[in-house]
Each structure stands twice: as structure tokens, then as C-alpha cells.
């Protein structure tokens, strides 16, 4: 291993996380297609107003629901309506695959954090200790001009690079796990604090979606930087370690 | 004598194979089978992790009366409607006749691994100690709704028929042909009720009249509507082609 290479356990964790993240993103998108409406609070369905409706499937058709039951005679009270048409729904395999990938991501993530903390990888290579406003502006300028193409692959990481990795690892991914767990009826029965922490099942679902969008954005920037700094060289460093 | 008949060896291999089969069958009887399918293995891992890590008697959140919301009715909205794809040739016409007499002749059969199997009328169930809870229905599609449910705890009904100590699962059967099951932990949970009332009225047809299950610690599809029969079993039942698993859905939906 040369100075710039990645350690073997880092490379293994990277590709396991990459595979599970891609699986989570694709299966999660299919799950969202079954009900592409986002809400705030505990309740949200075709009979209540949405915060956001995503044009990713034809499943938003409340106008076609048959309003058949009024729960009380008082005007403006909750209603029920029948849905007598089939919708797009691939959640059977979608959700099972989503959770299988989530198990892998969580277990690999925990292993990575444990080795990284004990072995000093996180403190040594990822903590942005050189962070000052001046260094941040300089690194931003280098990226925008762009001058990072000449940087060497692997270690040491640049300042913005460190900030991006640390944000994904210690903020975005844990937030995805927690908002995901908040959508579980069994987990929230055991830990109702999750519902209060995020302000309800539907709010957690909405945060989960924006977390997905942010992580996909990170992936696109990550891939763009890999290409900009020498795709083959970077791929080799993360695969064979040199 | 060096001569050796191939038969004993073949019989031995056969014996090994069949005992392995018995072992496999033994495993699949007390927990959801995976059929060697990687997604079902993931489902099983989630189920086992929940049973190991989550406290058994924690309650799902109960909401206030003011939180009651609109609720879409999906899936089967009337088992007597032959136009629906879920229409059961066997049970649909029966449901239509029961509907005509406002479920006077409807009975919930409770049988299987019990000492006193019997059939309950709706009035009999309504005379038993009831439980009313305002809970969130969490649909696997991604939407949610809050409603008030009134019914008799499944535990009370199971105690009335005397569940045998060997029992491990409770299977339930509906008038739209669907069938499913839960483990004894969920079956005996205080919030698992056989609901005949919704928001203070009789359960509407579209929400499962006259009786539906509420399993508050799992996704909505486990709370089966239009119940007709309950069978207590010692072993896991995947219900074949009519069950969830062979249709590609997770049996455990506590997620």
C-alpha cells in the first residue's frame, strides 16, 4: 500500500455501503411510487391535503375515490371513501429488499464506525482539523476554478471532501436510519419518543425522502469528483488499494 | 468378505436426506419459512430482531378523539361484489346473504388447537368486555389515518375457547378469500382486538363489516377485514397460494 492508498477494511466497507445504498435508493424509489404524496404530522392519505405531490407515478387520484361514508353528521368531520381501482404497487419485493439492504448498511456502518474510531482512521483522516474560514474559501475556490484535478487520489482528503464524508456518515445516514425506524409500527410502540422527535410518522417519512434526495445529490457530486480527478486511478485506489 | 451391497449405502443416503427434510420441516413449523429466498431471509432477520430486541408488551400510540382523520377504504370494499377481482366464489355469495340479514346469522368460528372450539355470534362478541382505542392505521403503501376502534380483545376470545399450551400461531380467514396469521405474542397483545365498531358506529362494510382484526404493531394489511374464521395452530401456516408469502409479501409486517 502506498501513501495515498485506502486500507483494505475501508475499501471493503466502501463497496458494501455503495451496493446497499444503491439498492436502498432504487427500492425506496419504487416504494415511494406506491404513494407519491408527502405530508407533515401523524396522518396523511388521499383524503387529506399533501405537503408535496411527486409526479413519479399515477397513484395520486383522490378524485376517483368514491366518497361513501361520513363518520358523523357534523359538517366537516372525517370521511371515508372507497378505492375500487388497482394502483401501481411493487412494495412486496420493494420493502423486503429495502430492509435487507438496510440491515447490511447498518451492520457495515456500525463496523466501520467501530474500527474507524478505535483505529484512529476517523480522527486522523476524516476530522476537518484544518478547518478555518480561509481554508474553506480556498478549497471552495479550488473546486470552482477547478484546480482539484491535479490532487492525488486517496489520502489525504481535501477539506470539503472531509466535510462531505463526515456529514454523510454522521448526520445524513443516521438520520435516514432513525426516520426509517420511525415508520415502523413495532419500533415506535417500543420507542414512541421517535414519533415525538420527528413530529409524527408522516413527517419522518417526508424527512426520509429529503434525506434520500440529499444522498443522491452527494453520490452525483462524489462520482463527478471521481471522474474529474482521474476515474481509473481513483477506482483502482478504492479497489486494489494502490 | 469385501463384497458390499450398494443398497445399504443408498438407503443410508436416503435416510440422511429424509431426516434433513424432517429437520427443515421442523424449523419451518415454528417460524416463517424462507424457502431459500434471500428476501424472505431478510424478513426473518427483521422478525427475529424485533422479537429479541423490542419489549413484548409495549403499546402502540393511542391518539385523542380530535385526532381522528379521514380514512380511505382500499383492497376489498365489499366481498359480495362479484365485479371485484378479490371476489371469492366460495364465500362471496355467503357474505351477500349475511349482509341481507344485517349479520344476524353471521358467526365467527374459533377452532384448532383449543379445548372448547365454538362459533360466536356478533351479539355474543359485543356482550364480552370491550376495548376502545384510537390508533393510527399505517398502510404499507405509505399513507396513514387515525380512527377509533371498538371490539373485543382477541385474547379474551382465545381465553374463552381455551388455547392449548402447544399453540404458537393464530390464523384468520376472511370473506374475500384472504387468509393470514400472527404469532401468539401479537395475538395476546392487549391492543390486538376483533373490532366491530369504528368511530362509535358499527364497522362500515368498506372497512370490514361485521368484524375485522386490529394488529396495531404491524402494517395495515395484517389487520384483516371481513373475518369469518379463526384457527389456532401449533405450527406456522403459509396458507399456500392464498397466503401473503407465496404472493411475495412479508408475513411479518412490524417492519
- Provide the pLDDT for residue B16: 47
**In B, which residues are within 8 Å of A33 by CB distance?**
none
Please tell me the CATH code under which domain A8-239 is placed: 1.20.950.20
ipTM: 0.94
Q: How far apart are CA A185 and CA A215, in angstroms?
A: 25
In CATH, what class is B60-247? alpha beta
On whether any CB of chain A is under 8 Å from the CB of B28, the answer is no
- The domain locations on chain B are 8-54, 60-247
Per-residue exposure over A43-80, b if at least 16 CB sit within 10 Å of its own CB, e if not: bbbbbbebeeeeeebebbebeebeeebebeeeeeebbb
Cβ <8 Å between A80 and B206: yes
The nearest CA of chain B is from the CA of A11 a distance in Å of 25
Residues B50/B253, Cβ–Cβ less than 8 Å = no
- Provide the pLDDT for residue A151: 64
Q: What is the pLDDT of residues A186-216, one digit of tens each?
A: 999 999 999 999 999 999 999 999 999 999 9
**In B, which residues are within 8 Å of A51 by CB distance?**
none
Grid cell 427483521 is found at B46
Q: How far apart are CA A193 and CA A40, in angstroms?
A: 17
R_g of chain A computed on alpha carbons:
22
On whether any CB of chain A is under 8 Å from the CB of B192, the answer is no
What is the H or E stretch that residue B228 is in? strand B227-233
Sign of CA dihedral A218, A221, A224, A225: negative
pLDDT band at B12 (very low <50, low <70, confident <90, very high): very low
Min mean pLDDT across A71-80, A225-234, B199-208, B214-223 is at A71-80
Cβ <8 Å between B73 and A44: no
- The domain locations on chain A are 8-239
Q: Which residue of B has its CA nearest to A206?
A: B142
Rounded to the nearest integer, the mean pLDDT of chain B is 91
Cβ <8 Å between A78 and B67: no
Min mean pLDDT across A29-43, A87-101, A149-163, B79-93 is at A149-163
Q: How far apart are CA B76 and CA A84, in angstroms?
A: 8
**In A, which residues are within 8 Å of B185 by CB distance?**
none
Percent of chain B exceeding pLDDT 90 equals 84
Residues B79/B93, Cβ–Cβ less than 8 Å = no
Residue among B42, B59, B219 minimizing CB distance to A100: B42
Q: What is the pLDDT of residues B105-136, one digit of tens each?
A: 999 999 999 999 999 999 999 999 999 999 99
- Provide the pLDDT for residue A149: 63
The nearest CA of chain A is from the CA of B244 a distance in Å of 9
User: Is 90 exceeded by the pLDDT of residue B200?
Assistant: yes
pTM greater than 0.80 (yes/no) = yes
**In B, which residues are within 8 Å of A97 by CB distance?**
39, 42
The nearest CA of chain B is from the CA of A83 a distance in Å of 5
Alpha helix positions (H), chain A: 8-34, 91-119, 121, 133-144, 159-167, 173-182, 185-190, 193-198, 201-228, 231-239
User: Is 70 exceeded by the pLDDT of residue B233?
Assistant: yes
**In A, which residues are within 8 Å of B249 by CB distance?**
92
Q: Mapping DSSP to helix (H, G, I), strand (E, B) and coil, where does residue A31 land?
A: helix
Amino acid at each position: 500500500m502506498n501513501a495515498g492508498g485506502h486500507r483494505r477494511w475501508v475499501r471493503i466497507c466502501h463497496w458494501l455501503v455503495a451496493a446497499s445504498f444503491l439498492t436502498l435508493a432504487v427500492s425506496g424509489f419504487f416504494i415511494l411510487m406506491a404513494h407519491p404524496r408527502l405530508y407533515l404530522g401523524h396522518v396523511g392519505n388521499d383524503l387529506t391535503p399533501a405537503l408535496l405531490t411527486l409526479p413519479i407515478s399515477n397513484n395520486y387520484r383522490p378524485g376517483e375515490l368514491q366518497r361513501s361514508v361520513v363518520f358523523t353528521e357534523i359538517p366537516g368531520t372525517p370521511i371515508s371513501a372507497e378505492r375500487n381501482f388497482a394502483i401501481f404497487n411493487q412494495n412486496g419485493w420493494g420493502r423486503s429488499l429495502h430492509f435487507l439492504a438496510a440491515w447490511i448498511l447498518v451492520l457495515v456502518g456500525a463496523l466501520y464506525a467501530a474500527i474507524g474510531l478505535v483505529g484512529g482512521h476517523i480522527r486522523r483522516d476524516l476530522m476537518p482539523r484544518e478547518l478555518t474560514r480561509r481554508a474553506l474559501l480556498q478549497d471552495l475556490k479550488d473546486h470552482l476554478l477547478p484546480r482539484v484535478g491535479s490532487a492525488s487520489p486517496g489520502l489525504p482528503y481535501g477539506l470539503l471532501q472531509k466535510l462531505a464524508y463526515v456529514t454523510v456518515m454522521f448526520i445524513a445516514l443516521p438520520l435516514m436510519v432513525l426516520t426509517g425506524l420511525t415508520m415502523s409500527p413495532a419500533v415506535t410502540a417500543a420507542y414512541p419518543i421517535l414519533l415525538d422527535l420527528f413530529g409524527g410518522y408522516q413527517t419522518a417519512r417526508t424527512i426520509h425522502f429529503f434525506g434520500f434526495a440529499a444522498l443522491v445529490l452527494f453520490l452525483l457530486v462524489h462520482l463527478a469528483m471521481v471522474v474529474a480527478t482521474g476515474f481509473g486511478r481513483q477506482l483502482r485506489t478504492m479497489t486494489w488499494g494502490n | 468378505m469385501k463384497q458390499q451391497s450398494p443398497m445399504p449405502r443408498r438407503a443410508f443416503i436416503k435416510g440422511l436426506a429424509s431426516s434433513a427434510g424432517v429437520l427443515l420441516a421442523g424449523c419451518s413449523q415454528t417460524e416463517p419459512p424462507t424457502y431459500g429466498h434471500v428476501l424472505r431471509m431478510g424478513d426473518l432477520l427483521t422478525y427475529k430482531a424485533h422479537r429479541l430486541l423490542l419489549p413484548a408488551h409495549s403499546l402502540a400510540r393511542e391518539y385523542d378523539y380530535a385526532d381522528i382523520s379521514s380514512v380511505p377504504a382500499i383492497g376489498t370494499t365489499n366481498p359480495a361484489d362479484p365485479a371485484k377481482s378479490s371476489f371469492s366464489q366460495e364465500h362471496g355469495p355467503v357474505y351477500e346473504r349475511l349482509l341481507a340479514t344485517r349479520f344476524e346469522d353471521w358467526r365467527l368460528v374459533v377452532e384448532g388447537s383449543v379445548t372448547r372450539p365454538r362459533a360466536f355470534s356478533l351479539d355474543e362478541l359485543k356482550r364480552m368486555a370491550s376495548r376502545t382505542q384510537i390508533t393510527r392505521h399505517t398502510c404499507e403503501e405509505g399513507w396513514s389515518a387515525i380512527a377509533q376502534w371498538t371490539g373485543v380483545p382477541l385474547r379474551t376470545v382465545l381465553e374463552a375457547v381455551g388455547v392449548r399450551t402447544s399453540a404458537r400461531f393464530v390464523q384468520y380467514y376472511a370473506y374475500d378469500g384472504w387468509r393470514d396469521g400472527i404469532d401468539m405474542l401479537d395475538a395476546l397483545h392487549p391492543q390486538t382486538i376483533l373490532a366491530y365498531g369504528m368511530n362509535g358506529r358499527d364497522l362500515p362494510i368498506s372497512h370490514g363489516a361485521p368484524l375485522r382484526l386490529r394488529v396495531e404493531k404491524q402494517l395495515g394489511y395484517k389487520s384483516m377485514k371481513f373475518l369469518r374464521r379463526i384457527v389456532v395452530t401449533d405450527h406456522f401456516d403459509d396458507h399456500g397460494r392464498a397466503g401473503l408469502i407465496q404472493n411475495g409479501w412479508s408475513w411479518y409486517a412490524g417492519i
